[in-house]
């Protein structure tokens, strides 16, 4: 498996005769607790796409690293692009692969803020080009896969919490500062969580963590990735993701 940016055009041409699938990873650069790298979302999705492409023939597109993270902008270092910029850039990348014969596009997305815009793009691409599109919302995608691994009693899948920390400990331990890992409960109670409202993220957590990051382990992270790869491969090989 070779990332597209490292391929020669000759090898690219050969691979497009073997597969109609492209994996497009997306991430974010934003606060991810005091102990984890701000690019954690993209680190996770790049790892997943590469491991999946070792199992099934697929193009792995370059990472789209910055997403729509405006809700986290109060924390230093957070980067954000406007939704229309994210949509336009990702559309152009996808259409480039469509032009070279890709009929199946899987957006491997690591950031919740990108989700609605990628759904919109997927609908547009399917209607325009008669291709098949799907999206993985990474940190939500893994939740049902790892229920038996949960140790924390507080938001195990919260921001930079047990499972975010575990995945980073597995993938990039050299960039994790576990001595800074903390347990942080939401500062503001929400008696109406079913109503979606704009709220200050920094007012919810002074650390950037929501949950218990101290429960993260590299072993759990490795198992998360293993199970995720198996599930993605099963989907890719199923009739549910057959090209139209």
Alpha carbon 32 to its chain's center: 14
More confident residue, 62 or 197: 62
Share of the chain above pLDDT 90, in %: 91
pLDDT tens per residue, range 42-89: 999 999 999 999 999 999 999 999 999 999 999 999 999 999 999 999
Rounded to whole angstroms, the Cα distance separating 186 from 203 reads: 9
Q: Rounded mean pLDDT of 158-176?
A: 98
Task: At 60, list the tokens.
Answer: 């792995």
The yes or no reply on domain 21-241 and CATH 3.40.50.10310 is yes
Strands 211-212 and 183-184: antiparallel
What is each CA distance from 94 to 29, 119, 132, 169, in whole angstroms? 21, 13, 12, 31
Taking each helix axis as running N to C, give the angle between helix 40-53 and helix 162-171, from 0 to 180 degrees, rounded to the nearest 10: 60
pTM greater than 0.85 (yes/no): yes
Residues with Cβ within 8 Å of 197's Cβ and at least 6 positions away in sequence, in order, are none
> Dihedral of the CA atoms 230, 64, 24, 137 (nearest 10)?
50
Rounded to whole angstroms, the Cα distance separating 48 from 57 reads: 14
Provide the strand spans (E) within the chain.
Answer: 21-26, 59-60, 104-109, 132-137, 183-184, 211-212
pLDDT tens per residue, range 8-28: 999 999 999 999 999 999 999
What is the residue-averaged pLDDT of the chain?
96
Confidence of residue 196 (pLDDT cuts 50, 70, 90): confident
Share of the chain above pLDDT 70, in %: 100
The pLDDT of residue 163: 98
Kindly list the domain boundaries of the chain, sorted by start residue.
Answer: 21-241
pLDDT at 242 over 80: yes
Q: Rounded mean pLDDT of 87-110?
A: 98
Rounded to whole angstroms, the Cα distance separating 91 from 45 reads: 18
End-to-end Cα spacing for the chain:
26
Q: Which residues pair with 59 in a beta bridge?
A: 22
pLDDT tens per residue, range 106-155: 999 999 999 999 999 999 999 999 999 999 999 999 999 999 999 999 99
């Amino acid at each position: 498996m070779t990332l597209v940016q490292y391929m020669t055009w000759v090898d690219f041409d050969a691979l497009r005769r073997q597969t109609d699938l492209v994996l497009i990873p997306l991430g974010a650069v934003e606060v991810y607790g005091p102990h984890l790298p701000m690019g954690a979302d993209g680190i996770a999705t790049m790892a997943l796409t590469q491991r999946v492409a070792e199992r099934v023939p697929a193009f792995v597109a370059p990472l789209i690293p910055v997403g729509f993270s405006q809700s986290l902008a109060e924390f230093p270092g957070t980067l954000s692009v406007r939704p229309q910029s994210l949509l336009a850039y990702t559309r152009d990348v996808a259409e480039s692969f469509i032009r070279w014969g890709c009929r199946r596009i899987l957006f491997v997305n690591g950031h919740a803020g990108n989700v609605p815009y990628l759904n919109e793009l997927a609908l547009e691409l399917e209607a325009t080009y008669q291709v098949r599109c799907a999206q993985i919302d990474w940190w939500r995608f893994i939740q049902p896969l790892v229920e038996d691994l949960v140790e924390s009693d507080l938001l195990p899948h919260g921001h930079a919490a047990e499972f975010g920390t575990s995945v980073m400990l597995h993938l990039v331990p050299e960039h994790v500062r576990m001595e800074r890992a903390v347990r942080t409960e939401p500062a503001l109670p929400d008696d109406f969580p079913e109503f979606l409202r704009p709220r200050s993220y920094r007012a919810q957590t002074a650390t950037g963590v929501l949950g218990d990051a101290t429960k993260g382990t590299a072993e759990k992270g490795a198992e998360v990735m293993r199970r995720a790869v198996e599930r993605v491969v099963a989907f890719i090989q199923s009739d549910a993701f057959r090209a139209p």
